[in-house]
């Protein structure tokens, strides 16, 4: 069984729990009742089968007993010295008196008719065969057709009126002193309209009605063979039985001398007891099912009522905590699971409210502007610092607000795909902020985007002043270098002249005192030239124009 829940119509937990308990309870009871019904039906069916089997066995035993009794009586006649003497002396009237006197004392073992044959043919008959439409010629046929002794034979005899179905047995009559066969004694049972046989079977087997069949054709019956009964007999398939009506039908194939024969017995037995048993069981089953359903419904109602009450209390506590944004003490529940859930919710709400307060304080009292965006670029929330950034003397500047949103839109769309952006420099009016944008994700994707700005206006101004100072310093250094280069050039020219004149003066004739003065003049000019060269090198270093060359000097000893 599959339950499809409609999200638009949610059900309460109490209702679902009670319904689930009711369904499981009902299924278990249904299975139990089903097994009970199956077991009881099987027991009734087995009892009916046992009864049918006993009836079939009883019918077979009755037929065997009847044939055995007649067979025993016949065997006793064949050993009678009196009968043997009558046959040898061909005293037919004495033979008739002999059997008449015996039949009067034991009617149950009396066959429908008897006859005796000798090697030359039919010798004697009791005169009962014509009552069944069997004449002397038919007896002659039976004498020749029944060839085996001591066994019952089924014979279908074609007479003038109809077929006669017989059970016939032949036994030799032997003279004891000589061991000579003086004749053969035949006894026969006529199955057609044998009301005595079927009535005895009916009484002895305690059945309602008996129908004797030969090759599935009714030949004798204790009930009127109307069309409906004949059709019912023809439709019966062996081995089979039906017990869904007041009469239970059964067909038993009879065995003669342990061998299956074309003779069968169709019995109708009173089935009211079994039907009454089945009906009583069905009534008790229906009553039990009704009682179980009522009990299950009552249990469902009580469980649902109790669970609904506890869940209502738990939901009211949850709703109160959510609406009032404060945590009250959970009063507890008699259901341990609900009690655990309630106290867990109490701790959870307290923790969440504390975290929410910390976050709210951080959001409200932060000196840096914090703005919460939607994925489409809509501003959802701003902290006081961000709101103050869009105000001048307490008045909101809409133009600055729209300009800022326009500049941030492209970055917001990029962050909505999952990226994290840092160091975005976007101003608000004349204040420059460095923004960091980060997505806030939930199970179904990007929920919101939070942006935090850092005021870097002073840093930007300091950087601009630094750049201006650097430019001025570079200009000053360049001017100084140019001045030094020009001055050094102006000084180098007259200095070279002084050094050259000093060299010439040194080569001319002069006194010792003059030579020394000329050397001082020359050394002072060379020193001044070295200082001037050093100044030019420092100027080149500042301008980045100094070139260093590597030279190898060889000294000769």
What pLDDT sits at residue 189? 92
Q: Which of 175-184, 263-272, 483-492 has the highest mean pLDDT?
A: 175-184
Of 201-205, 232-236, 282-286, which range is least confident?
232-236
Question: pLDDT exceeding 70 applies to what percent of the chain?
Answer: 79
Is pLDDT above 80 for 487?
Answer: no
Is pLDDT above 50 for 2?
Answer: no
Dihedral pair phi/psi, residue 244, rounded to 5°: -95, 10
What pLDDT sits at residue 116? 92
- β-pairing verdict for 180-190 and 113-118: antiparallel
Contact 211, 225 (CB under 8 A): yes
Contact 64, 201 (CB under 8 A): no
Helix or strand holding residue 497 (H, E): helix 457-507
Tell me 4's DSSP state: P
Task: For residue range 502-551, list pLDDT tens digits in order.
Answer: 777 777 766 777 777 887 887 888 888 788 777 777 777 766 666 676 66
Alpha helical stretches, state H, 111-178: 136-145
Q: By C-alpha distance, which of 496, 54, 100, 468 is closest to 114?
A: 100
Dihedral pair phi/psi, residue 125, rounded to 5°: -140, 155
How far, rounded to the nearest angstrom, does the alpha carbon of residue 153 sit from its chain's CA centroid?
A: 66
With cut-offs at 50, 70 and 90, classify the pLDDT of residue 557.
very low
Q: By C-alpha distance, which of 188, 182, 144, 136 is closest to 164?
A: 188
What pLDDT sits at residue 323? 62
What pLDDT sits at residue 188? 93
Is pLDDT above 90 for 124?
Answer: yes
Dihedral pair phi/psi, residue 454, rounded to 5°: -125, 125
Task: For residue range 75-97, list pLDDT tens digits in order.
Answer: 888 888 888 988 888 898 998 88
User: Count of CB atoms within 10 A of residue 78's CB?
Assistant: 18
Contact 318, 352 (CB under 8 A): no
Task: Count Cβ neighbours within 10 Å for each residue of 367-399 and write b for 16 or more, e otherwise.
Answer: ebbbbbbebebebeebbebbeebbeeeeeeeee
Q: Whole-angstrom Cα distance, residue 424 to residue 434?
A: 5
List CB contacts of 441: < 8 A, sequence separation 6 or more. Answer: 418, 447
Give the chain's mean pLDDT: 77
What pLDDT sits at residue 376? 82
């Amino acid at each position: 069984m599959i339950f499809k829940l409609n999200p638009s119509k949610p059900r309460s937990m109490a209702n679902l729990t009670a319904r689930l308990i009711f369904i499981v309870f009902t299924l278990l009871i249904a299975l139990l009742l089903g097994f009970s019904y199956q077991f009881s039906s099987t027991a009734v069916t087995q009892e009916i089968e046992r009864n049918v089997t006993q009836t079939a066995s009883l019918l077979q035993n009755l037929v065997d007993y009847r044939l055995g009794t007649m067979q025993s009586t016949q065997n006793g006649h064949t050993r009678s010295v009196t009968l043997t003497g009558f046959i040898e002396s061909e005293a037919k009237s004495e033979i008739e008196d002999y059997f008449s006197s015996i039949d009067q004392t034991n009617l149950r073992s009396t066959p429908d008719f008897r006859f005796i044959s000798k090697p030359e043919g039919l010798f004697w008959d009791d005169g009962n065969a014509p009552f069944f439409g069997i004449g002397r010629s038919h007896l002659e046929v039976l004498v020749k057709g029944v060839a085996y002794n001591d066994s019952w034979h089924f014979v279908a005899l074609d007479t003038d009126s109809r077929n006669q179905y017989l059970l016939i047995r032949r036994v030799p009559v032997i003279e004891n002193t000589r061991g000579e066969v003086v004749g053969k004694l035949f006894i026969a049972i006529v199955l057609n309209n044998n009301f005595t046989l079927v009535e005895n079977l009916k009484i002895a087997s305690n059945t309602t009605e008996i129908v004797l069949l030969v090759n599935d054709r009714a030949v004798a019956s204790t009930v009127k063979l109307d069309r409906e009964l004949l059709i019912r007999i023809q439709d019966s398939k062996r081995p089979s039985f039906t017990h869904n009506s007041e009469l239970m039908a059964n067909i038993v194939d009879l065995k003669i001398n342990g061998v299956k024969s074309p003779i069968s017995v169709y019995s109708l037995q009173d089935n009211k007891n079994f039907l009454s048993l089945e009906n009583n069981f069905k009534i008790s089953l229906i009553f039990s099912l009704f009682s179980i359903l009522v009990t299950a419904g009552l249990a469902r109602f009580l469980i649902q009522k109790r669970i609904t009450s506890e869940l209502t209390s738990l939901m009211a506590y949850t709703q109160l905590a959510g609406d009032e944004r404060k945590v009250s003490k959970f009063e507890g529940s008699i259901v341990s699971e609900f009690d655990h859930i309630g106290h867990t919710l109490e701790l959870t709400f307290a923790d969440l409210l504390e975290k929410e307060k910390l976050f709210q304080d951080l959001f409200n009292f932060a000196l840096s502007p914090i703005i919460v965006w939607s994925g489409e670029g809509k501003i959802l929330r701003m902290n006081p610092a961000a709101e103050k950034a869009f105000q001048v003397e307490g008045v909101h500047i809409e133009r600055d607000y729209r300009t800022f949103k326009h500049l941030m839109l492209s970055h917001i769309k990029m962050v909505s795909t999952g990226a994290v952006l840092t160091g975005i420099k976007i101003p608000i009016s004349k204040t420059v902020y460095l923004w960091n944008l980060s997505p806030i994700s939930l199970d179904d994707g990007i929920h919101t985007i939070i942006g935090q700005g850092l005021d870097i206006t002073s840093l930007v101004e300091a950087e601009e002043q630094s750049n201006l100072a650097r430019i001025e310093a570079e200009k000053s250094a360049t001017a100084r270098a140019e001045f030094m280069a020009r001055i050094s050039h102006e000084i180098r020219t007259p200095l070279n002249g002084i050094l050259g004149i000093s060299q010439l003066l040194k080569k001319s004739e002069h006194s010792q005192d003059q030579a020394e003065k000329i050397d001082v003049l020359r050394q002072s000019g060379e020193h001044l030239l070295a200082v001037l060269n050093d100044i030019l090198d420092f100027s080149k270093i500042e301008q980045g124009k100094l070139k260093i060359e590597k030279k190898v000097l060889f000294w000769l000893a």
